Chains A and B, each alone.
Chain A
Amino acid sequence: MSVDRWLQKVALRLRSVLHRGEVEQELDEELQFHVEQQTVENMRRGLSPDRARAAALQALGGIEFQKEEVRDARGTRALEDVGRDVVVAVRSLRRSPGFTLAVVLTLALGIGANTAMFTLLRGTLLRPLPHRDGERLVYVRQSAVGAGQPNTNFSVPEVADYRAAARTLATIAEYSSSVPFILVGSDGAPARIRAGIVSGNFFGVMGLEPVLGRLITDGDDGAAAPSVAVLSHQYWTEHFGGDSAVVGSAVRLNGIVSTIVGVVQPAPHYPRRTDVFVNTVTSPHHLSASMVTERTHRMTELFARLAPEATVEQARDEVGRIAALLATEHPEAYEQAARYAVSVASLRQAVNERASLTFWLLMGAAAFVLLIACANVANLTLMRGVGREREMIVRATLGAGAVRLRRLLLVENLTLALLGGTLGVLVAYAGLRLLVAFASQLTPRAAEIRVDGVVLAVGLGTSVLAALILSFVPRIGGGRSLAAALAAAGRRTTLGRGGQRFQRTLVVTQLAVSMVLLTGAGLLVRTLSNLQSVDTGVRGEHVLTLDLPLSGPLEAAVMHQPENLTLYTGLRDRVAALPGVEDVSLASLAPLRSSIVSFDVKAEGRTVAPNEPTPNALFKTVDPHYFTAAGVPLVRGRAFAATDVRDGAKVVLLNASLARQLFGDLDPVGRRVAWTGEVLKFSPLSGDWRTVVGVVGDTRDEGLENAPTPSMYAPFAQEFIFGGTLVVRTASDPSALQPTIVRAIRDESPGQLIEGVTTLAQIRDETVAPRRLNALFIAAFATLALVIAMVGIAGVLAFSVSRRTAEIGIRMSLGADAARVKRMVLGEGGALLAGGLVVGLTSALLAAQLLRGLLFGVAPHDPLTLGVVAALLAVVGLLACWLPAARAARVDPAVALRAE
């Protein structure tokens, strides 16, 4: 059937429904006309007027009957009936407002939680990447697990090798972000940005389009091309206010004049946030001889587009083979013990690597909440159904078919579920900002989260599904003959045996699901508290850190060591003089911040076993006050002194991890160590021997759940200066002092960039925050589940008591006392509770395994958590049973029996 024909039919049907009165009246008139004409005709054939009319009516089968036939034939019957059903449903629901409110709220919470989680899931995990053919994009990662480096990046010769050899990768794009950049715009104010140095084919490979101007292309490659920059959509809106005039303007990037040529479409930032994309010529470092020719100078990350027909698995295999081949061809560049390996992952998976497990678990938890919400509503409906059995039978007696009754129930449940669903979607919508904030800690795709048509459709679908399930819960008197049903209905106030068993199964399920969710919440809360109690290695209270980057071209700036030292010590001394400041220190990096600046180390007179990787340590420069300001304990020897200057003897401090790795149980103080390895030659650091003057405590720079990284400290005044960070210990709340400190720095050096102003407590909290929200969500779901389950068990018992009032009356008149009756009801509830606990414990043990990846310092089968959760459930459950039990105990036998 063609579309317009179908539309025409719909229009005709709608007209019949909407103008029902008119249609009815016309029908009446039409049939009257027929009867009159036929009467005349019959009279013409010789019948008396009365007989003529009677015959005409009889031929039609009676006017009213004929009308029914016509209405059926018009095929609008069902539609009209539904309208009437809605009216009946609304009326019936208004008669029981308590029931309606309970059901709508329960469903709203269940559907709301699900809609919210689905919104999260769809925006981040399910929706295709915004890149053209994003499914074909892969991220290639080189790692050296033996050396503790999950991502070593690639060198230019390696990129060339993979380009030449990999058949499964159609095109390979380069991206490098390890060079810090300062952007100076037309207003002259410097700003630190995160720049991605990309090859000319980058945007083509990634399948991204400009929203403004053009993107970097092949023509921008090479040393002769002019420097060009492309803004990320986020940076353009946040820092240029989405001003299109910015395209074509010139900026200075590390001192190099560059033209902004365009703005790229919004896309998830991976592997890290990028403000500005620049071509290779913009970073002189990337054109330097060592960068281009040295196999170990690894600064480039690779994105690739799969060749047609190739799969990620095939690419992974092939790239793995190429990596093995390169390692045998160039053994000097791939230390055996470092275990170099290359992996290929689809970009879509890589982007959501951290979020995937958490989001699916939350979705599962939300689905569980909906499940037990539905179970509760089913229970409520079931109980209400008993009271309504008589109503149903009366309706059946008056001619309503089983289908019609079923439909009446369905319409009622649909009304309830849609009310709940609408409320739920509103709840989800209100929680969107919280959701995005949560997601942005785990995935770069958080910005794509929104409530759209699909999300609304799923919310609606969930509601309809819930309504459908609920409508088939209560039995309608259809199974038995009408007479039998009528005979029984007079006194029937109880469920059939099957109904009771079903009701009990629902309660046990609810309890079990609550147990699973509570266990999950318990494990996550324990993880959280374990993390909170991890010793960071610093005394983080009242410590403010401020990054003060060097401005201008970094490579040149680094060479001005004396001037830089004067600048930074000037700033430090200025801040130290402020009232309320207890201690100030200068360092290359704030404590607890992870760093990528690491080099291989060797100790004099010590050799590394052949199967062990060369020791590698983070390089940090700090001034004499650092360890007191940050509260890092000095374990052995001495801290740096004011005499450890550029021309003095070269000295270093080791952290405890590095000291143990290099010297084992020996006292390192007085021994000599040196930087070494291939990468050293790309840095201005020297490989001279340095004397260890002391050992300091470890700090957790890679997050609380990760082991401390081996680190070597050098005096700030003795080494090249790449930038500075002030570590300020204050007497009271550091954020109160922050404006004063910032003003003092501006006073001393007006153009100075100030970035990353944050307290040590905040840095520490960055690891914990996503987990806290995680635990909060699961705990909220678990609480919700618990409340619903308790209402469920209490409701079922209350119902059981009310139906057994007569029985209780008889028992009491035969001598049972109140305590005994109470025990009886509590026993009934206790049996349900025990069932729920047993099923719940088994399910929790299985389900907790899924959480393994999110736990820290606690096993998935942690007996303490399981025990506490079981005890909690038992106690709260018994409390919920207490109410109906107490009511049963108050039954007056005389009243109960008389009522019968």
Chain B
Amino acid sequence: MSKPNDLVQGTLDLLILKMLAFEPMNGWAVGQRLKQLSSEVLQVSDGSLYPALHKLEQEGWVTSEWRRSENNRRAKFYSLTRAGRRQLQVESGNWERLAAAISALVRLQEA
């Protein structure tokens, strides 16, 4: 249940890093933003979001601090670290190569 079975393995990390690259945000907002930006195509289950965030934090790719949210509630805001930015580049590159390869395969004309 914890695995993002609706997403390619490891892709969730990439998506979260990408979201946080725009601005620091709290966990809930990350989930909301993902849904909005992907026009609800990517259904990230709430259950897999927090384990992923905490794992990224332990890896040192994101860091967190407590801040006031828009509705003035204390919330844990995550932001990207320098190492995280590098990791984002690495993972984006990987993803693009993978996506290009798969696209090329899918477009192959059947004889």
A34 at the interface (CB under 8 A from B): yes
| B2 to A, closest residue via Cβ | A69
How distant is the Cα of A34 from the Cα of B45 in the complex, in angstroms? 13
B26 to A33, Cβ gap below 8 A?
A: yes
Q: Are A26 and B76 in contact (CB under 8 A)?
A: yes
Question: Across the two chains, which residue of chain B brings its CB closest to A40?
Answer: B71
Q: In the complex, what residue of chain B is closest to A75 when comparing beta carbons? A: B58
Cβ distance A475 to chain B, nearest Cβ, rounded Å: 33
- Residues of A with C-beta under 8 A to B66: 26
A13 CB contacts on chain B under 8 angstroms: 58
Kindly provide the distance from the CB of B17 to the nearest chain A CB, expressed in whole angstroms: 15
Known A29-B74, A33-B75; judge A76-B47 contact (CB<8 A).
no
Docked-complex contact A9 and B58, CB < 8 angstroms: yes
- What residues of chain B lie closer than 8 Å to A70, measured between beta carbons? 50-51, 54
Chain A residue with the shortest CB-CB distance to B55? A73
Query: Are B47 and A66 in contact, with the CB atoms below 8 A?
Result: yes
Contact of B24 with A by CB under 8 A = no
Interface bits A13-47 vs B (CB < 8 Å: 1, else 0): 10010000000001101110110111001000000
Q: Are B83 and A59 in contact (CB under 8 A)?
A: no
B76 touching A33 by the CB < 8 A rule? yes
**Nearest-CB residue, chain A, relative to B47:** A61
Size of the chain A interface, CB-CB below 8 angstroms: 29
Q: Which of B27, B55, B60 contacts A30 (CB 8 A)?
A: B27
Q: Are B58 and A66 in contact (CB under 8 A)?
A: no
1/0 per residue, CB under 8 A from B, across A50-80: the answer is: 0000001001110000100110111110000
Q: Is B73 an interface residue (CB 8 A)?
A: yes
- The digit string for A706-749, where 1 denotes a CB below 8 A from any CB of B, is 00000000000000000000000000000000000000000000
> Which range contains the number of B residues in contact with the other chain?
20 to 34
Q: Is B1 an interface residue (CB 8 A)?
A: yes
Q: Does A8 contact B (CB under 8 A)?
A: yes
Chain A residues whose CB sits within 8 angstroms of the CB of B32 once the complex forms = 41
Most buried by B among A9, A16, A30, A59: A30
Interface centre among B1, B51, B59, B66 (most CB of A within 10 A): B51
- Please indicate the chain A residues that have their CB under 8 angstroms from the CB of B52 in the complex: 73
The answer, yes or no, to whether B28 is at the interface (CB within 8 Å) is yes
Let me know if A12 is at the binding interface, CB within 8 A.
yes
Say yes or no: B57 contacts A12, CB within 8 Å: yes
> Whole-angstrom distance from the CB of B46 to the nearest CB of chain A?
4
**Chain B, 58-75, contact with A by CB distance < 8 Å: what is the 0/1 string?**
111000001001000111
Q: How far does the alpha carbon of A70 sit from the alpha carbon of B59 in the complex, in Å?
A: 14
| Chain B CB within 10 A, most for which of A8, A33, A59, A73 | A73
Is A5 engaged at the interface, CB distance under 8 Å to the other chain?
A: yes
Is the Cβ of B47 less than 8 Å from the Cβ of A12?
Answer: no
Is A29 in contact with B28, judged by CB distance below 8 angstroms?
no
Say which residue of B27, B55, B83 sits within 8 Å of A34 (CB atoms).
B27
With A30-B27, A60-B47, A73-B51 known as contacts, the answer to whether A16 contacts B76 (CB < 8 A) is: no
The secondary-structure label for the interface of chain A is helix
Q: Do A72 and B51 contact each other (CB < 8 Å), given the known contacts A37-B28, A38-B28?
A: yes
Give the residue of B1, B26, B47, B55 whose beta carbon is less than 8 angstroms from that of A74.
B55
Docked complex: B87-109 residues within 8 A CB-CB of A:
none
Query: Complex Cα distance A31/B69, Å?
Result: 14
| A69–B58 touching, CB < 8 Å | no
Q: How far is the CA of A30 from the CA of B53 in the complex (A)?
A: 12
| Cα separation A73 to B53 with both chains bound (whole Å) | 9
Q: How long is the Cα–Cα vector from A74 to B53 in the complex, in angstroms?
A: 9
CB nearest neighbor in B for A11: B60
Q: Is the CB of B28 within 8 A of A74?
A: no
Distance of A196 from chain B, by nearest CB (Å): 62
A30 touches B58 (CB 8 A): no
Q: Which residue of B lies closest to A15 (CB)?
A: B58
Q: Please indicate the chain A residues that have their CB under 8 angstroms from the CB of B51 in the complex.
A: 69-70, 72-73
A75 to B66, CA, bound (A): 22
In the complex, are the beta carbons of B74 and A33 less than 8 A apart? Answer: yes
Q: Is the CB of B50 within 8 A of A69?
A: yes
Given the complex of chains A and B, what is the CA–CA distance between A69 and B4 in angstroms? 13
> Chain A residues with Cβ under 8 A from B74's Cβ?
29, 33
Chain B residues with Cβ below 8 Å from A26 are: 66, 76
Q: State the CA gap A438–B65 with chains docked (Å).
A: 64
**Contact partners of B69 in chain A: CB under 8 A:** 33, 37
The answer on a CB contact under 8 Å between A36 and B73 is yes
- Cβ of A5: which chain B residues have Cβ within 8 Å of it? 60, 83
**B58:A12 contact, CB within 8 angstroms:** yes
CA A9 – CA B55 in complex, angstroms? Answer: 11
Bound Cα distance from A8 to B69, whole angstroms: 29
Set A30, A41, A75: member contacting B50, Cβ < 8 A? A30
Tell me if A60 and B46 are in contact (CB < 8 A). Answer: yes
Residue from B46, B47, B59, B75 with most neighbouring chain A CB atoms (10 Å): B46
Question: Are B55 and A8 neighbours in the complex by a CB distance under 8 Å?
Answer: no
Residue on B nearest A76 in the bound complex, by CB: B58
Closest Cβ of chain A to B38, distance in Å, is: 17
Considering the complex, give the chain A residue whose CB is closest to the CB of B73: A33
Determine whether the beta carbon of A29 is less than 8 Å from that of B54. Answer: no
Residues of B within 8 A of A72 (CB): 2, 51
Measured between beta carbons, the chain A residues less than 8 angstroms from B26 are: 30, 33
Chain A residues lying within 8 Å of B55, measured Cβ to Cβ, are 73-75
Chain A residues within 8 Å of B57, by CB: 12, 74
In whole angstroms, what is the CA distance A70 to B54 when docked?
Answer: 7
- The distance from the CB of B45 to the nearest CB of chain A, in whole angstroms, is 7
- In the assembled complex, how far is the CB of residue B70 from the closest CB belonging to chain A, in whole angstroms? 10
Output the residue of A34, A56, A66 with the most chain B CB within 10 A: A34
Give per-residue flags for B2-38: 1 if the beta carbon is below 8 A from chain A beta carbons, else 0: 1000000000000000000000001110001000000
> Quick one: which of A66-97 are within 8 Å of B by CB?
66, 69-70, 72-76
Give the residues in chain A near B59, CB-CB below 8 Å.
Answer: 9
Least Cβ–Cβ distance between A622 and chain B, in angstroms: 87
Report chain A residues within 8 Å CB of B47. Answer: 59-61, 66, 69
Q: A8-B83, A30-B75 are in contact. List 20 more A-B contacts (CB 8 A).
A: A9-B59, A12-B58, A12-B60, A13-B58, A29-B74, A31-B50, A33-B76, A34-B46, A60-B46, A60-B47, A60-B50, A61-B47, A69-B47, A69-B50, A70-B51, A70-B54, A73-B50, A73-B51, A74-B57, A75-B58
Query: Which residues on A are within 8 Å of B, measured CB to CB?
Result: 5, 8-9, 12-13, 16, 26-27, 29-31, 33-34, 36-38, 41, 56, 59-61, 66, 69-70, 72-76
24 A/B residue pairs, CB under 8 Å, sorted by A: A5-B83, A8-B60, A8-B83, A9-B58, A9-B59, A26-B66, A26-B76, A30-B50, A30-B76, A34-B27, A34-B28, A34-B46, A34-B50, A36-B73, A38-B46, A56-B46, A59-B45, A60-B50, A66-B47, A69-B2, A72-B2, A73-B55, A73-B58, A75-B55
B residues with a Cβ closer than 8 A to A are: 1-2, 26-28, 32, 45-47, 50-52, 54-55, 57-60, 66, 69, 73-76, 83
Interchain residue pairs A-B with the least CB separation, the first 5: A73-B51, A59-B46, A37-B28, A73-B55, A61-B47
